[in-house]
């Protein structure tokens, strides 16, 4: 299929572009390059540096490229910033997505794959988290994603839009060949921050909370490889052939890993010590978040190829060693 990858120059989107090519599809990238990187997009993949609010331009792209399905990754995702600047998040994550969906329906494109998040669940009372766990977001970022999930359900009923919403846990890792990887500015993800601390590029890593009711006192999270995430998005395509399909899937390994376990994995793979300091808990950080992804495995045949933290860290380290400054010019 001809697939428009919105945010296809970003971390997860760019990995999905490569997986689409490997699966025989034709990706087209739409990315305003505010956070995305042109270098992350293969040279032979069309790249349109457009904004979603420009409906005239987006509509032209959909028609010109004969787009049959849209994958949407272009969201702001800094939880803390969403608390201090919620308007920014509602404009981008909700309003801009509504512009995109209106363009799609106007162009007759009714297949949509949406990047959602486990942040829609807030602080669940039980682990692991299933798709039926109550969704009670505790920050505007999670709320904007839930708002779009509810919007998509309404569009499915009213217009026959078929969609899949994937609720990610902690995306991590890099392409196996080291060609593309994770480069955020500012960087907030644990693994690249640990690499930089080990390399002396940043100060010692801050471990937020060492007194949680977990085996080693640090938070437990579910780290899932970015290529595993990407393949799940493609595995759902056949199910979107049914008009009005409304599908929701958790994407995680189901294996909780602590902050200290991530640090140990980084030290083992890199051969370098990760200096760190204990810091107070961050407000709103639950002790544990990990997925029950049985639904994705059974309905989509989704197979996790990177089931443990060391295999994930190894791919991330390969990218980091080859690109110590990320996509920035040396």
Catalytic residue numbers?
Answer: 141
In the numeric block, the tokens 């990760």 are attached to 274
* Cβ neighbours for 242, distance < 8 A, ≥ 6 positions apart: 162
Q: Confirm if 293 and 249 have CB atoms less than 8 A apart.
A: yes
CA distance 59 to 100: 9
Torsion of CA 224, 154, 163, 88, to 10 degrees: -50
Q: How many helices (H) and strands (E) does the chain have?
A: 11, 13
Residue found under tokens 């078929």: 162
Contact between 266 and 312 (Cβ < 8 Å) = no
Pairing mode, strands 170-172 and 220-225: parallel
Q: Do the Cβ atoms of 149 and 121 come closer than 8 Å?
A: no
Closest CA to 262 of 219, 213, 305: 219
Backbone angles phi, psi at 128, to 5 degrees: -75, 170
Kindly report whether the peptide bond that precedes residue 128 is cis, defined as omega within 30 degrees of 0: yes
Q: Measured between alpha carbons, how far is 162 from 100 in angstroms, rounded to an integer?
A: 15
d(CA 322, CA 319) in angstroms, rounded, equals 5
Count of beta carbons in the 10 Å neighbourhood of residue 74: 26
């Amino acid at each position: 299929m001809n697939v428009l990858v919105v945010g296809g120059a970003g971390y997860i989107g760019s990995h999905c572009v490569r997986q689409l090519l490997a699966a025989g599809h034709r990706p087209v990238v739409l990315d305003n390059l505010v956070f995305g990187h042109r270098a992350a997009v293969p040279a032979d993949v069309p790249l349109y540096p457009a904004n979603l609010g420009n409906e005239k331009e987006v509509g032209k792209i959909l028609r010109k490229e004969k787009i049959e399905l849209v994958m949407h990754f272009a969201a702001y995702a800094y939880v803390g910033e969403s608390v201090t600047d919620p308007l920014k998040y509602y404009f981008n994550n909700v309003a801009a997505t509504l512009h995109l969906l209106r363009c799609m329906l106007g162009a007759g494109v009714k297949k949509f794959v949406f990047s959602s998040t486990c942040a829609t669940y807030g602080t669940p009372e039980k682990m692991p988290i299933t798709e039926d766990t109550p969704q009670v977001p505790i920050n505007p970022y999670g709320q904007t994603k839930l708002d779009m999930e509810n919007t998509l359900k309404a569009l499915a009923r009213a217009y026959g839009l078929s969609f899949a919403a994937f609720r990610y846990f902690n995306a991590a890792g890099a392409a196996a060949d080291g060609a593309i990887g994770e480069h955020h500015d500012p960087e907030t993800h644990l693994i690249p921050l640990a690499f930089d601390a080990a390399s002396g590029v940043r100060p010692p890593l801050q471990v937020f909370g060492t007194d949680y009711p977990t085996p080693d006192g640090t938070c437990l999270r579910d780290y899932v490889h970015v290529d595993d995430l990407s393949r799940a998005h493609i595995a759902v395509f056949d199910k979107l052939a049914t008009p009005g399909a409304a599908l929701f899937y958790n994407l995680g390994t189901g294996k909780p890993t602590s902050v200290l376990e991530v640090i140990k994995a980084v030290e083992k793979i890199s051969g370098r010590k990760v200096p760190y300091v204990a810091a107070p808990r961050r407000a709103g950080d639950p002790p544990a978040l990990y997925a029950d992804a049985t639904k994705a495995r059974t309905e989509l045949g989704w197979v996790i190829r990177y089931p443990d933290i060391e295999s994930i860290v190894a791919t991330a380290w390969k990218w980091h060693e080859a690109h110590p400054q990320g996509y920035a010019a040396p």
